[in-house]
Structure 1
Amino acid sequence: MRVLRGLRALRVLMAGCLLVLVPGCASDTPDPLVVLGPWTGKEGEAFEAALQRLDDGTGRTYTYEGTRSLRETLVSQLEADTPPDVAVLNSIGELTEYARRGKLKPLAAPTRERAFSPWAPELLVDGSRSTYWVPLKVDLKSLVWSKKGTPSDDPTWCVGLASQATSGWPGTDWIEDILLHQAGTDPYEKWATSRLSWRDPDVVRAWTTWARLLDGRTEDSVEQSLTTSYEGTSGPAGPRGLLNSPGFECTHEHQSAFIRYVYAGDDIRVEPSARFLGGRAENRDTFEVAGDMAAVFSDDPDAQELVERLSSPAGRERWRAEADPAVRPLFPDTKGLPPTESANTVEQEIDGLLNSTARTLCFDASDVMPPELRDAFHRAVLEFFRDPAKKRLDSLLQQLETIRVQVDEDADDARSFRPPEDVCAGPGG
């Protein structure tokens, strides 16, 4: 943040130089483009390294700001009228909201062609249809992790629900994945895009299935899960994952592909989640994914050029080359990219599931929902985890249904700004 404030101050100073001739002000060097994104630690370092090597021949430089509190940071910057030039977000609901408010700039033609359908739709804004974001990478979510040699017939589940301002999302991932594999893509898409009631039997069944899978937890265990990060406890080398965290007597973890960065050893295995969730056989090769999408917030034409380069095969290849295997970015369609030698069996397995096994990829449902409904979903998961009684569930689902209906009514005059109705597609778009 200190670096970013310095850049903002520099921009103010340079603007003053245009009005007043101040000694030492004159410079032909443009300000660095500011990129705001969700990656920190090794992920952030890899992305920043790739960013610095995206030489366009003009000498333009880039500054990356990574934060785990992405929405809060971006909202505060927009309120201060100091937005980043480019931001990378994982929420289609938020991006739709920013487009509706006129905060996003339509993408240039070369980038629009790479917009992975249906997750980057054309939106009707001021009478014109345009594409406003492009996916840069994805993470496979329908995964279960365990230690090699651990029987999988009767798993004891690791659960860590804490995550700063967005605590609860590991629980929403559970419910989304269960609904997808039990009910299939059609009910999932309708629910994700607010066209299916939260009181629908398929939705209720997903919640009760989650409670059944986690049944038998003690009060101490529940409190531990509510207050422990999804990364597990920290050791000398950083987060060590829930499977390796002291005090967690568990054998299996339901978590996205990104968590592999805390499991660096060869004693961890990963497998599709479908068989653990009580789903139907026809949904076995359907997977939930999360995506990170780049959007342009400034009028600087170089910001458009940057997004075009980041989303290109060359940009992907450079990003992948700069990253350690544990944080190497994943893509839903690797056409145009040379094959990569996977560093371990875990990466090989995930890449194979994403690009060979997967028949259908469905975008993370809560990330499609309007922000107010998504946030309420996060809170409801935390409350349900603490008290999974049927009466409590009925009350929580009615609250979520009330919010869904209200958001739907408020959007009556702006339906063209809604997220796409189709959020599932084959790996090639």
Structure 2
Amino acid sequence: MSPRTVFRTLLATCLLAVTAGACGSERPETLVVLGPWTGPEGKAFEAMLHRLDDGTGKSYTYQGTRSLRETLGAQLEAGDPPDVAILNSIGELVEHARAGHLTPLDRAATARAYPPWAPRLDVDGGRRTYWVPLKVDLKSLVWSKEGSARDRPAWCVGLASQATSGWPGTDWIEDILLHQAGPATYTRWATGDVRWRDPRVRRAWTTWAELLGRRTRAAVDRSLTTPYVGPRGLLDSQRPRCTHEHQGAFIRYVYAHDRVRVEPAAGYLGGRPEHDGAYEVAGDMAAVFSGDPAARALVDRLSGERARALWRERASDGLQPFFPDASDPQPTDATGRRIADILTAKARTLCFDASDVMPPGVRDAFHRAVLQYFGDPTEKRLDELLGRLDTVRTEAAKDAAPGHLPESEVCAPPGG
């Protein structure tokens, strides 16, 4: 039973008991927020959310889950969606907008919803904004042990992630393509206008295999079953010992010590110097799934300055979130400040995670193909996998009805 259903049941019981004096005359309205954060991250977000209760007459409850897609789908099917859900997949958000699940945002939130995190969509004859980023992350990063040779990296690889296993590998291929072929080709590929068998895309796959080098069957199997993150991070725990890891900014919470350095990934990917200023990014976007005007007002408040300041205050070092504009409060730890500077000042172009832009069916096929290629990085196997992906791409294109993602908003300069 969802938190809102529980609340409604309690409220109904209360109303039946009013004549007996069991309930007060008024109760605050409760809005339900569904999100991806659990553990310390979830507690920090929830603490911020409760601070937003003050003076509004509203009550907010947070439901955090690692199975966000499945939970949201079940709630929609049951006709009891959350008031607000926080998703990291633009492809899924586009599908929800086209299906009529989302309510367009108010003007105040729309002003903070700029590319590449929140494009405006043409749905039902109107160009509207349906979500806004709450926090963002930089992905084009390499973490390495201090003193390790930059020109001879031994790469850590962990590809397991419950139902979404494989995404650490798709991040590699996306980042390589971005730096080899540039943002324009990356955008056309992410939105389905460049074939998977295109030589530029194929080269990104083979470059990944070359960078990782030859691996024993035992090492391959170990990487396929190793979670992408552990209590101490892959650099400190993976066997055999490795020296470098390609991973996003969120991983800094396990590397909060001076023995690990972080730097842009461009220098490792065999790219072209003119594309060094391009970075892959991801975001967690809030969308309204109910018709309650109070839900739209909540998204406006969640994306505002006060909520961001409260969130940073409540989160511990290494878990303080990154926000999309240089004027927003940023992390206070040294590593976080360096990453925020790249994200908001040094980067010339930010490109949203390509697999999160793709329709969910294409994205899921990409995840599976990465796992299969990692296990068998041969030319024959790659031909087969890219052919399958082109078939999935063609099928997805048939369903690209009004509401599809505009190419112009996948990559953008920092700060909109």
Instruction: Please point out which of 267, 282, 302 is paired with 2:294.
Output: 302
Cα deviation for residue 421 of structure 1 reads 0.8
Residue in structure 1 matched with residue 34 of structure 2 by the alignment: 36
| Contact 2:121 2:406 (8 Å CA) reproduced | no
Instruction: Please point out which of 212, 222, 246 is paired with 1:224.
Output: 222
Instruction: Please point out which of 92, 106, 123 is paired with 2:90.
Output: 92
Matching of residues 237-386 of structure 1 within 5 Å: 239-335=231-327, 337=328, 342-344=332-334, 346-386=335-375
Per the alignment, do residues 119 and 6 of structure 1 end up closer, same or farther by CA in structure 2, a change over 3 Å counting?
Answer: closer
Q: What's the CA shift string for 1:267-314, capped at 9, x where partnerless? A: 111000001000000011110000111001112222111110111122
Matching of residues 10-25 of structure 1 within 5 Å: 10-15=7-12, 23=20, 24=22
Q: Which whole-Å CA distance do the structure 2 matches of 1:6 and 1:78 have between them?
A: 14
Tell me which amino acid in the other structure corresponds to 2:333: A
Equivalent position SS for 2:33: strand
| Contact 1:117 1:425 (8 Å CA) reproduced | yes
Residue in structure 2 matched with residue 144 of structure 1 by the alignment: 142
Residue in structure 1 matched with residue 385 of structure 2 by the alignment: 396
Aligned alpha-carbon RMSD (Å): 1.8
Q: What's the CA shift string for 1:337-391, capped at 9, x where partnerless? A: 46x57322x2232122112210110000000000000000000000000001110
Q: Which whole-Å CA distance do the structure 2 matches of 1:245 and 1:179 have between them?
A: 29
| Contact 1:145 1:255 (8 Å CA) reproduced | yes
Gaps of 5+ in 1: 233-238
Q: Which whole-Å CA distance do the structure 1 matches of 2:385 and 2:396 have between them?
A: 17
| 2:405 is aligned with 1:407 | no
Cα deviation for residue 9 of structure 1 reads 2.8
Cα deviation for residue 22 of structure 1 reads 6.8
Tell me which amino acid in the other structure corresponds to 2:403: F
Residue in structure 2 matched with residue 236 of structure 1 by the alignment: none
Q: Which whole-Å CA distance do the structure 1 matches of 2:19 and 2:205 have between them?
A: 64
Cα deviation for residue 175 of structure 1 reads 0.2
Cα deviation for residue 45 of structure 1 reads 1.5
| Contact 2:224 2:371 (8 Å CA) reproduced | yes
Tell me which amino acid in the other structure corresponds to 1:378: H
Deviates more, 1:8-17 or 1:94-103: 8-17
Deviates more, 1:247-256 or 1:8-17: 8-17
Cα deviation for residue 51 of structure 1 reads 0.9
| Contact 2:108 2:300 (8 Å CA) reproduced | yes
| Contact 1:14 1:25 (8 Å CA) reproduced | no
Tell me which amino acid in the other structure corresponds to 2:383: D
Residue in structure 1 matched with residue 51 of structure 2 by the alignment: 53
Cα deviation for residue 127 of structure 1 reads 2.8
Instruction: Please point out which of 72, 83, 90 is paired with 1:74.
Output: 72
Deviates more, 1:88-97 or 1:26-35: 26-35
Deviates more, 1:65-74 or 1:397-406: 65-74
Q: Which whole-Å CA distance do the structure 1 matches of 2:356 and 2:309 have between them?
A: 27
| Contact 1:118 1:420 (8 Å CA) reproduced | no
Q: Which whole-Å CA distance do the structure 2 matches of 1:31 and 1:310 have between them?
A: 17
Q: Which whole-Å CA distance do the structure 1 matches of 2:180 and 2:331 have between them?
A: 35
Deviates more, 1:287-296 or 1:30-39: 30-39
Tell me which amino acid in the other structure corresponds to 1:127: G
Q: Percent identity?
A: 63
Residue in structure 2 matched with residue 424 of structure 1 by the alignment: 411
| Contact 2:4 2:82 (8 Å CA) reproduced | no
Residue in structure 1 matched with residue 2 of structure 2 by the alignment: 5
Q: Which whole-Å CA distance do the structure 2 matches of 1:343 and 1:131 have between them?
A: 33
| Contact 2:33 2:60 (8 Å CA) reproduced | yes
Gaps of 5+ in 2: none
Residue in structure 2 matched with residue 235 of structure 1 by the alignment: none
| Contact 1:119 1:420 (8 Å CA) reproduced | no
Divergent runs of 4+, >6 A: 16-22
Q: What's the CA shift string for 1:147-188, capped at 9, x where partnerless? A: 111111110000000001100000000000000000001110
Instruction: Please point out which of 174, 187, 190 is paired with 1:189.
Output: 187
TM-score computed with the length of structure 2 as normaliser: 0.95
Per the alignment, do residues 324 and 366 of structure 1 end up closer, same or farther by CA in structure 2, a change over 3 Å counting?
Answer: same
Per the alignment, do residues 60 and 258 of structure 1 end up closer, same or farther by CA in structure 2, a change over 3 Å counting?
Answer: same
Instruction: Please point out which of 45, 62, 65 is paired with 2:63.
Output: 65
Q: Which whole-Å CA distance do the structure 2 matches of 1:358 and 1:8 have between them?
A: 45
Q: What's the CA shift string for 1:302-334, capped at 9, x where partnerless? A: 211111011112221111121112011112312
Equivalenced residue count is 414
Q: Which whole-Å CA distance do the structure 1 matches of 2:108 and 2:134 have between them?
A: 14
Q: Which whole-Å CA distance do the structure 2 matches of 1:46 and 1:12 have between them?
A: 28
Q: Which whole-Å CA distance do the structure 1 matches of 2:109 and 2:278 have between them?
A: 27
| Contact 1:242 1:248 (8 Å CA) reproduced | no
Matching of residues 133-212 of structure 1 within 5 Å: 133-212=131-210
Q: Which whole-Å CA distance do the structure 2 matches of 1:12 and 1:419 have between them?
A: 39
